[in-house]
A = this chain, B = another copy of it.
Amino acid sequence: MRDRRNLQTRTHFADPRAAANNTAMNKNTIDFPARLAAVAAKTETLLEQLLGSAPLEGEIARPPRLVAAMRHAALDGGKRLRPFLVVETAAMLGVTHEGALMAGAAFELVHCYSLVHDDLPAMDDDDLRRGRATVHKAFDDATAILTGDALLTLAFDVMARREVHADAAVRVALVTELARASGLGGMAGGQMLDLAAEGRFDPKRTLNEKEIATLQAMKTGALIKFACRAGATLAQADAAARASVDRYGAAIGQAFQIADDLLDVEGDAKTLGKAAGKDAAAGKATLVAALGTDGARARLKVLIAESDAALAPFGAKADTLRAAARFIAERTT
Protein backbone atom coordinates (compact mmCIF):
# COMPACT_ATOMS: atom_id res chain seq x y z
CA MET A 1 0.00 0.00 0.00
CA ARG A 2 1.12 3.54 -0.64
CA ASP A 3 0.03 5.02 2.66
CA ARG A 4 0.50 3.24 5.89
CA ARG A 5 -0.79 5.34 8.75
CA ASN A 6 -3.99 5.72 10.58
CA LEU A 7 -6.03 8.24 8.70
CA GLN A 8 -8.57 9.12 11.33
CA THR A 9 -9.60 12.75 11.38
CA ARG A 10 -8.25 13.32 14.87
CA THR A 11 -4.87 14.92 14.53
CA HIS A 12 -1.99 14.78 16.94
CA PHE A 13 0.66 17.36 16.42
CA ALA A 14 3.57 15.69 18.18
CA ASP A 15 5.23 17.70 20.95
CA PRO A 16 4.80 21.36 19.95
CA ARG A 17 7.91 22.39 21.93
CA ALA A 18 10.02 20.15 19.74
CA ALA A 19 8.56 21.79 16.68
CA ALA A 20 9.14 25.30 18.03
CA ASN A 21 12.73 24.47 18.88
CA ASN A 22 13.52 23.21 15.43
CA THR A 23 13.50 26.60 13.80
CA ALA A 24 13.78 30.14 14.92
CA MET A 25 11.24 31.16 12.26
CA ASN A 26 8.47 29.04 13.68
CA LYS A 27 7.19 31.28 16.46
CA ASN A 28 4.58 28.69 17.31
CA THR A 29 1.91 31.21 16.41
CA ILE A 30 0.25 28.73 14.07
CA ASP A 31 -2.50 26.59 15.54
CA PHE A 32 -1.58 23.81 13.19
CA PRO A 33 -4.03 21.12 14.36
CA ALA A 34 -6.89 23.62 14.01
CA ARG A 35 -5.83 24.57 10.47
CA LEU A 36 -5.46 20.96 9.45
CA ALA A 37 -8.84 20.07 10.94
CA ALA A 38 -10.49 23.04 9.20
CA VAL A 39 -9.34 21.97 5.75
CA ALA A 40 -10.26 18.34 6.53
CA ALA A 41 -13.79 19.38 7.52
CA LYS A 42 -14.27 21.45 4.36
CA THR A 43 -12.86 18.62 2.24
CA GLU A 44 -15.25 16.18 3.86
CA THR A 45 -18.21 18.43 3.01
CA LEU A 46 -17.02 18.78 -0.56
CA LEU A 47 -16.44 15.04 -1.05
CA GLU A 48 -19.87 14.39 0.42
CA GLN A 49 -21.35 16.67 -2.26
CA LEU A 50 -19.24 15.17 -5.05
CA LEU A 51 -20.35 11.65 -4.14
CA GLY A 52 -24.07 12.33 -4.20
CA SER A 53 -26.55 10.05 -5.92
CA ALA A 54 -27.85 12.44 -8.58
CA PRO A 55 -26.22 12.12 -12.01
CA LEU A 56 -24.47 15.18 -13.42
CA GLU A 57 -24.72 16.48 -16.97
CA GLY A 58 -23.21 13.84 -19.23
CA GLU A 59 -23.85 11.04 -16.73
CA ILE A 60 -26.67 8.56 -17.30
CA ALA A 61 -27.24 7.19 -13.79
CA ARG A 62 -25.21 6.64 -10.63
CA PRO A 63 -25.58 3.00 -9.52
CA PRO A 64 -26.34 3.00 -5.78
CA ARG A 65 -23.92 0.15 -5.00
CA LEU A 66 -21.03 1.98 -6.63
CA VAL A 67 -21.93 5.27 -4.95
CA ALA A 68 -22.04 3.48 -1.57
CA ALA A 69 -18.65 1.86 -2.12
CA MET A 70 -17.08 5.14 -3.25
CA ARG A 71 -18.46 6.87 -0.17
CA HIS A 72 -17.13 4.06 2.02
CA ALA A 73 -13.71 4.63 0.47
CA ALA A 74 -13.63 8.41 0.52
CA LEU A 75 -15.77 9.76 3.36
CA ASP A 76 -15.24 9.99 7.10
CA GLY A 77 -11.56 9.38 7.10
CA GLY A 78 -8.12 10.71 6.72
CA LYS A 79 -6.20 13.75 7.77
CA ARG A 80 -6.74 15.06 4.22
CA LEU A 81 -3.09 15.99 4.09
CA ARG A 82 -2.98 16.41 0.31
CA PRO A 83 -5.89 18.88 0.19
CA PHE A 84 -4.27 20.70 3.10
CA LEU A 85 -1.02 21.07 1.15
CA VAL A 86 -2.84 22.37 -1.93
CA VAL A 87 -4.84 24.89 0.11
CA GLU A 88 -1.97 26.11 2.29
CA THR A 89 0.56 26.34 -0.53
CA ALA A 90 -1.95 28.37 -2.52
CA ALA A 91 -2.67 30.52 0.55
CA MET A 92 1.04 31.18 1.09
CA LEU A 93 1.14 32.48 -2.47
CA GLY A 94 -1.92 34.68 -2.02
CA VAL A 95 -4.75 32.48 -3.32
CA THR A 96 -7.50 32.05 -0.79
CA HIS A 97 -10.53 31.23 -2.94
CA GLU A 98 -12.38 27.93 -2.71
CA GLY A 99 -10.85 26.66 -5.93
CA ALA A 100 -7.86 25.33 -4.00
CA LEU A 101 -10.22 23.23 -1.92
CA MET A 102 -11.78 21.76 -5.07
CA ALA A 103 -8.34 20.99 -6.49
CA GLY A 104 -7.42 19.45 -3.14
CA ALA A 105 -10.48 17.21 -3.32
CA ALA A 106 -9.23 15.91 -6.67
CA PHE A 107 -5.93 14.91 -5.03
CA GLU A 108 -7.81 13.25 -2.18
CA LEU A 109 -9.91 11.23 -4.63
CA VAL A 110 -6.74 9.96 -6.28
CA HIS A 111 -5.30 9.11 -2.87
CA CYS A 112 -8.46 7.22 -1.88
CA TYR A 113 -8.55 5.28 -5.16
CA SER A 114 -4.96 4.18 -4.58
CA LEU A 115 -5.82 2.86 -1.12
CA VAL A 116 -8.78 0.85 -2.44
CA HIS A 117 -6.74 -0.81 -5.18
CA ASP A 118 -3.67 -1.36 -3.00
CA ASP A 119 -5.77 -3.10 -0.36
CA LEU A 120 -7.06 -5.68 -2.86
CA PRO A 121 -6.14 -9.35 -2.29
CA ALA A 122 -4.08 -9.35 -5.49
CA MET A 123 -2.07 -6.38 -4.19
CA ASP A 124 -1.31 -5.91 -0.47
CA ASP A 125 -4.33 -7.90 0.77
CA ASP A 126 -5.42 -5.70 3.67
CA ASP A 127 -8.70 -6.14 5.52
CA LEU A 128 -8.52 -3.03 7.68
CA ARG A 129 -8.17 0.63 6.76
CA ARG A 130 -8.85 3.58 9.06
CA GLY A 131 -10.14 1.05 11.58
CA ARG A 132 -12.85 -0.08 9.16
CA ALA A 133 -13.25 -2.92 6.70
CA THR A 134 -11.53 -2.20 3.39
CA VAL A 135 -13.80 -1.79 0.36
CA HIS A 136 -13.24 -5.30 -0.97
CA LYS A 137 -14.10 -6.73 2.46
CA ALA A 138 -17.15 -4.51 3.00
CA PHE A 139 -18.31 -5.11 -0.60
CA ASP A 140 -16.37 -7.48 -2.89
CA ASP A 141 -13.30 -7.47 -5.12
CA ALA A 142 -15.09 -6.51 -8.34
CA THR A 143 -16.85 -3.60 -6.63
CA ALA A 144 -13.52 -2.47 -5.15
CA ILE A 145 -11.84 -2.47 -8.56
CA LEU A 146 -14.66 -0.38 -10.05
CA THR A 147 -14.69 1.90 -6.99
CA GLY A 148 -11.03 2.73 -7.49
CA ASP A 149 -11.58 3.25 -11.21
CA ALA A 150 -14.52 5.57 -10.62
CA LEU A 151 -12.74 7.59 -7.89
CA LEU A 152 -9.75 8.12 -10.19
CA THR A 153 -12.01 9.18 -13.04
CA LEU A 154 -13.94 11.54 -10.77
CA ALA A 155 -10.66 13.16 -9.71
CA PHE A 156 -10.05 14.38 -13.25
CA ASP A 157 -13.68 15.43 -13.62
CA VAL A 158 -13.30 17.56 -10.47
CA MET A 159 -9.95 19.04 -11.46
CA ALA A 160 -11.40 20.20 -14.78
CA ARG A 161 -14.29 22.09 -13.17
CA ARG A 162 -14.65 25.81 -13.47
CA GLU A 163 -14.82 26.17 -9.69
CA VAL A 164 -11.13 25.21 -9.50
CA HIS A 165 -9.97 28.28 -11.43
CA ALA A 166 -11.56 30.70 -13.89
CA ASP A 167 -8.71 30.21 -16.38
CA ALA A 168 -9.04 26.96 -18.35
CA ALA A 169 -5.28 26.97 -18.98
CA VAL A 170 -4.69 26.68 -15.24
CA ARG A 171 -7.15 23.79 -14.95
CA VAL A 172 -5.62 21.94 -17.86
CA ALA A 173 -2.15 22.37 -16.30
CA LEU A 174 -3.52 20.91 -13.07
CA VAL A 175 -4.99 17.93 -14.93
CA THR A 176 -1.59 17.26 -16.50
CA GLU A 177 0.23 17.57 -13.18
CA LEU A 178 -2.22 15.26 -11.44
CA ALA A 179 -1.91 12.67 -14.21
CA ARG A 180 1.89 12.73 -14.20
CA ALA A 181 2.02 12.40 -10.41
CA SER A 182 -0.49 9.54 -10.33
CA GLY A 183 0.24 7.35 -13.29
CA LEU A 184 2.90 5.23 -14.94
CA GLY A 185 5.74 7.60 -14.01
CA GLY A 186 4.39 8.40 -10.53
CA MET A 187 2.19 6.67 -7.98
CA ALA A 188 0.99 3.66 -10.04
CA GLY A 189 4.54 3.07 -11.25
CA GLY A 190 5.77 3.30 -7.66
CA GLN A 191 3.37 0.61 -6.55
CA MET A 192 4.62 -1.55 -9.42
CA LEU A 193 8.20 -1.08 -8.18
CA ASP A 194 7.09 -1.83 -4.63
CA LEU A 195 5.57 -5.17 -5.64
CA ALA A 196 8.76 -5.99 -7.52
CA ALA A 197 10.82 -5.04 -4.46
CA GLU A 198 8.91 -7.62 -2.43
CA GLY A 199 10.45 -10.22 -4.70
CA ARG A 200 7.10 -11.06 -6.21
CA PHE A 201 8.36 -11.38 -9.76
CA ASP A 202 11.98 -12.28 -8.98
CA PRO A 203 12.67 -13.64 -5.46
CA LYS A 204 16.30 -12.55 -5.64
CA ARG A 205 15.48 -8.94 -6.30
CA THR A 206 16.71 -6.51 -3.63
CA LEU A 207 16.96 -2.75 -3.87
CA ASN A 208 19.79 -0.48 -2.90
CA GLU A 209 19.20 2.80 -1.08
CA LYS A 210 18.96 4.82 -4.28
CA GLU A 211 16.40 2.45 -5.78
CA ILE A 212 14.34 2.59 -2.57
CA ALA A 213 14.42 6.38 -2.74
CA THR A 214 13.15 6.31 -6.36
CA LEU A 215 10.42 3.82 -5.45
CA GLN A 216 9.23 5.96 -2.54
CA ALA A 217 9.48 9.21 -4.49
CA MET A 218 7.05 7.67 -6.97
CA LYS A 219 4.77 5.73 -4.64
CA THR A 220 3.98 8.42 -2.08
CA GLY A 221 6.28 11.35 -2.81
CA ALA A 222 4.91 12.30 -6.21
CA LEU A 223 1.35 12.99 -5.08
CA ILE A 224 2.50 14.98 -2.04
CA LYS A 225 4.96 17.02 -4.06
CA PHE A 226 2.39 17.72 -6.74
CA ALA A 227 -0.22 18.72 -4.15
CA CYS A 228 2.17 21.52 -3.22
CA ARG A 229 2.88 22.32 -6.85
CA ALA A 230 -0.86 22.50 -7.54
CA GLY A 231 -1.03 25.33 -5.01
CA ALA A 232 1.69 27.13 -6.95
CA THR A 233 -0.09 26.47 -10.26
CA LEU A 234 -3.34 27.86 -8.87
CA ALA A 235 -1.44 30.97 -7.79
CA GLN A 236 0.21 31.19 -11.22
CA ALA A 237 3.47 31.55 -9.30
CA ASP A 238 6.70 32.54 -11.05
CA ALA A 239 9.47 30.06 -11.79
CA ALA A 240 11.47 30.88 -8.66
CA ALA A 241 8.51 30.34 -6.37
CA ARG A 242 7.60 27.14 -8.18
CA ALA A 243 11.13 25.82 -7.76
CA SER A 244 11.01 26.58 -4.02
CA VAL A 245 7.65 24.87 -3.66
CA ASP A 246 8.95 21.84 -5.58
CA ARG A 247 11.97 21.64 -3.29
CA TYR A 248 9.72 21.82 -0.24
CA GLY A 249 7.34 19.21 -1.65
CA ALA A 250 10.14 16.78 -2.43
CA ALA A 251 11.52 17.10 1.11
CA ILE A 252 8.20 16.54 2.87
CA GLY A 253 7.33 13.71 0.50
CA GLN A 254 10.48 11.88 1.60
CA ALA A 255 9.85 12.75 5.25
CA PHE A 256 6.31 11.41 4.98
CA GLN A 257 7.47 8.01 3.78
CA ILE A 258 10.26 7.68 6.36
CA ALA A 259 7.88 8.59 9.19
CA ASP A 260 5.46 6.08 7.76
CA ASP A 261 8.05 3.33 7.75
CA LEU A 262 9.06 4.19 11.32
CA LEU A 263 5.43 3.89 12.37
CA ASP A 264 5.19 0.49 10.73
CA VAL A 265 8.19 -0.67 12.78
CA GLU A 266 7.26 1.01 16.05
CA GLY A 267 3.49 1.48 15.97
CA ASP A 268 0.85 -0.92 17.17
CA ALA A 269 -2.32 -1.99 15.45
CA LYS A 270 -4.60 -0.21 17.90
CA THR A 271 -3.07 3.20 17.27
CA LEU A 272 -2.61 2.63 13.56
CA GLY A 273 -6.12 1.28 12.93
CA LYS A 274 -4.59 -1.56 10.93
CA ALA A 275 -1.92 -4.21 11.19
CA ALA A 276 1.57 -3.00 12.18
CA GLY A 277 4.88 -4.60 11.28
CA LYS A 278 3.44 -5.76 7.97
CA ASP A 279 6.05 -4.09 5.82
CA ALA A 280 8.92 -5.62 7.74
CA ALA A 281 7.22 -9.02 7.62
CA ALA A 282 6.70 -8.68 3.88
CA GLY A 283 10.35 -7.78 3.43
CA LYS A 284 9.30 -4.42 1.98
CA ALA A 285 12.04 -2.14 0.86
CA THR A 286 12.17 0.81 3.27
CA LEU A 287 14.80 3.35 4.18
CA VAL A 288 14.31 2.38 7.82
CA ALA A 289 15.46 -1.13 6.92
CA ALA A 290 18.38 0.34 4.99
CA LEU A 291 19.41 3.05 7.49
CA GLY A 292 18.16 1.68 10.83
CA THR A 293 15.74 3.65 13.01
CA ASP A 294 18.43 6.07 14.24
CA GLY A 295 19.63 6.67 10.73
CA ALA A 296 16.05 7.26 9.61
CA ARG A 297 15.47 9.79 12.40
CA ALA A 298 18.65 11.63 11.45
CA ARG A 299 17.41 11.74 7.85
CA LEU A 300 14.12 13.26 9.00
CA LYS A 301 16.02 16.12 10.68
CA VAL A 302 17.92 16.77 7.47
CA LEU A 303 14.65 16.84 5.54
CA ILE A 304 13.08 19.34 7.95
CA ALA A 305 16.12 21.58 7.53
CA GLU A 306 15.77 21.17 3.75
CA SER A 307 12.12 22.13 3.84
CA ASP A 308 12.94 25.20 5.97
CA ALA A 309 15.61 26.22 3.49
CA ALA A 310 13.16 25.83 0.62
CA LEU A 311 10.59 28.01 2.40
CA ALA A 312 13.03 30.76 3.47
CA PRO A 313 12.11 33.12 0.60
CA PHE A 314 8.49 33.25 1.79
CA GLY A 315 9.22 34.44 5.34
CA ALA A 316 6.39 34.34 7.85
CA LYS A 317 3.85 33.49 5.14
CA ALA A 318 5.33 29.99 5.12
CA ASP A 319 4.78 29.31 8.83
CA THR A 320 1.93 26.89 8.21
CA LEU A 321 3.93 24.88 5.69
CA ARG A 322 6.88 24.84 8.12
CA ALA A 323 4.59 23.43 10.78
CA ALA A 324 3.26 20.92 8.25
CA ALA A 325 6.78 19.60 7.65
CA ARG A 326 7.20 18.99 11.38
CA PHE A 327 3.79 17.41 11.66
CA ILE A 328 4.65 15.03 8.83
CA ALA A 329 8.04 14.10 10.26
CA GLU A 330 6.94 13.72 13.86
CA ARG A 331 3.44 12.33 13.70
CA THR A 332 2.60 9.32 15.79
CA THR A 333 -0.37 8.05 13.77
Per-residue interface assignment for chain A, residues 208 to 221, with 1 indicating a CB less than 8 Å from any chain B CB and 0 otherwise: 00000010011000
A106 to chain B minimum Cβ distance, whole angstroms, is 11
Report A187-226 residues with CB < 8 Å from chain B CB.
Answer: 188-193, 195-196, 200-201, 214, 217-218, 222, 226
A141 to chain B minimum Cβ distance, whole angstroms, is 4
Per-residue interface assignment for chain A, residues 146 to 189, with 1 indicating a CB less than 8 Å from any chain B CB and 0 otherwise: 10111011101101110000011101100111111111111011
Inter-chain contact A152/B150, CB cutoff 8 Å? no
Report A73-96 residues with CB < 8 Å from chain B CB.
Answer: none
A294 within 8 A of B: no
Which secondary structure characterizes the binding site on chain A?
Answer: helix
Inter-chain contact A186/B60, CB cutoff 8 Å? yes
Stretch at the interface among A36-44, A64-72, A280-288: A64-72
Q: Please, which residues of chain B bring their CB within 8 A of the CB of A190?
A: 60
Inter-chain contact A60/B156, CB cutoff 8 Å? no
Contact pick for A183, options B57, B150, B181, B201, CB 8 Å: B150
A18 within 8 A of B: no
Inter-chain contact B172/A153, CB cutoff 8 Å? no
A9 within 8 A of B: no
A167 to chain B minimum Cβ distance, whole angstroms, is 8
Contact pick for A154, options B66, B141, B157, B179, CB 8 Å: B179
A188 with B60, Cβ < 8 A, contacts A65-B196, A145-B123 known? no
Q: Which chain B residue shows the least CB distance to A141?
A: B122
**Which residues of A are interface residues toward B (Cβ below 8 A)?**
55-63, 65-67, 70, 113, 117, 120, 122-123, 140-143, 145-146, 148-150, 152-154, 156-157, 159-161, 167-169, 171-172, 175-186, 188-193, 195-196, 200-201, 214, 217-218, 222, 226
Known: A60-B222, A153-B182, A156-B179. 17 other contacts (CB 8 A): A55-B185, A59-B183, A60-B185, A65-B196, A66-B188, A67-B184, A146-B192, A148-B149, A149-B152, A150-B184, A150-B189, A152-B153, A153-B183, A154-B184, A157-B176, A168-B172, A172-B175
Give 21 A-B contacts (CB < 8 Å), ordered by A residue.
Answer: A58-B181, A59-B183, A60-B185, A60-B190, A61-B185, A62-B184, A62-B185, A63-B184, A63-B192, A65-B196, A65-B201, A113-B149, A140-B200, A142-B195, A143-B192, A145-B145, A150-B183, A150-B188, A153-B182, A157-B183, A168-B172
